[in-house]
A and B are shown apart, each in its own frame.
Chain A
Amino acid sequence: MRILAAEEIEIGVHPTATFLGLTFNLDTMLATVIAGAVVVGLGLFVRSRVTAGVPNGAQLFMEGVNAQVRRQVEESIGIKTAPFVIPLALTLFLFILAANWLAVFPSEHYVPPPTADVNLTFALALLVIVLVHVTGIRKRGAGTYIKHFAQPYWWLFPLNIIEELAKPVSLALRLFGNIFSGGIIISLIVGLPAYVLWAPTATWKLFDLFIGLIQAFIFALLTVLYFGSATSEEGH
């Protein structure tokens, strides 16, 4: 294996391609496809052997995640109010987890974790926040929904709007920052002499696994909570 020197890794730089006047980050796209394939593959594998009897390990994992998400949705929204939040939050969790854990492989140069690219995190955050607002308007009516931003006092309206705008941005940048910084740490570690390199690398990658899990969990949890606050009757 080739040991990368620190100067070879450039932060936030991607091999790109242009299509229809738009720039595409090729490595992020490749990593997204891999992470997506892992999640979809796991899902279809579980589906092919799904049983009401004794589940295998993969099904047990999926059931565990499903049960957690379901409980969370039930507590903050109520399953009947927004049943589609369960597959959404579950997919978010699994996909972000798979994407984050790509950081464990020593392939930063070719297949970086796609969550270390704002394109992915903004895309997910925007999708979530749009769905949240659509659900809120559908549940309570457009007028009531917009009016609830002026509560408890009318002059809080701008603040509430800023808060709503901050939600997707913070959601996206939190995930991006955590995973991206993991890459930075690795690039700093590889600057060390080769004979001590392995120890901090192994340690950091283990920690990175933990961060990846936590961030996936937080993203999914916040998604559920945002849905909850948008559909709840008592407002903010």
Chain B
Amino acid sequence: MDLRFLTAAEGGEEEGGGNFLVPNGTFIFELLAFLVILFILGYFVVPPIQRAMRQRQEMIEKGIEDARQARERAEAAQRAYREELDEARAEGAKIREKARAEADRLAGGKREQAQQVVAGLHEQGEEELHSQRDQAARELRAQVGTLALTLTERILGSTTADDERLRETIDSFLRDLEPEPADESSAAPGSGSL
């Protein structure tokens, strides 16, 4: 620096004219110095800082926007899922209802059929029973008649002359035991065979 030192602190008052409120050459230096600082900060420091702040702002805004979209998507998916679930439930209920009705219908038919079969079997069984009983009764009756005759012959020791008449008597006795007259016709061939 090409500065000539003239004074030290002690001589300042006389040199400066004694009034420190009046600017001197330092003013120019200060102005230039500040302009230099302003230039450096204005061109090299403030723009990158503002850029960084803007980028951060954008990043944050983008993050918020992304989060908002993700939430909307999730909500939409959940809504769709619920709707489908409800639909599926309704469908399921309908199918179940239908199946139950079908089952009822089928079961009703089967029951009726089974009842008919049972009734048929019952009837058949009764008929068989009935005819067997009749047959048994017929056989018994024929045997009773023969037995009674044989017994009478053994007791009396001889063949009775009126064999026909005795048989007639026994048969009529047996007929009297029968409650229904319908059985008489069925009993007759049995006794007749003997």
Contacts and interface: CB of A to CB of B under 8 A. Distances in A.
Nearest to A65: B49
A226 to B, nearest CB: 17
A23 B14 CA distance: 12
* Residue from B22, B29, B55 with most neighbouring chain A CB atoms (10 Å): B29
Nearest to B48: A50
A24 B33 contact: no
A10 B41 contact: no
B101 to A, nearest CB: 68
Given A28-B26, A29-B30, 9 more contacts: A13-B16, A14-B9, A23-B15, A32-B29, A40-B40, A44-B44, A46-B49, A63-B49, A119-B24
B41 A17 contact: no
A51 B15 CA distance: 51
15 contacts: A15-B12, A17-B4, A18-B3, A19-B2, A24-B3, A28-B26, A39-B41, A66-B46, A67-B53, A86-B46, A87-B46, A91-B34, A118-B20, A122-B23, A123-B27
Contacts of B182: none
Contact of B9 (A15, A19, A62, A63): A15
Q: Report, nearest first, the 8 A-B pairs whose CB atoms are least far apart.
A: A22-B25, A12-B20, A43-B45, A52-B55, A87-B42, A119-B26, A123-B30, A13-B12
Given A25-B24, A39-B37, A84 B31 contact: no
Nearest to A22: B25
B151 interface: no
Interface in B108-162: none
Interface residues of A, number: 56
A63 B25 CA distance: 35
B6 interface: yes
B13 A13 contact: yes
A16 interface: yes
Nearest to A109: B9
Contact of B30 (A47, A94, A119): A119
Given A29-B29, A50-B48, A91 B23 contact: no
B20 A43 contact: no
A55 B49 CA distance: 10
B6 A13 contact: no
B21 interface: yes
B76 interface: no
Contacts of B20: 11-14, 117-118
B85 interface: no
Given A95-B34, A119-B26, A50 B49 contact: yes
B38 interface: yes
Nearest to B26: A119
Nearest to B25: A22
A1 B72 CA distance: 70
A81 to B, nearest CB: 17
B137 to A, nearest CB: 116
Contacts of A11: 20
B28 interface: yes
A124 interface: yes
B110 to A, nearest CB: 78
B6 A16 contact: yes
Contacts of A32: 29-30, 33
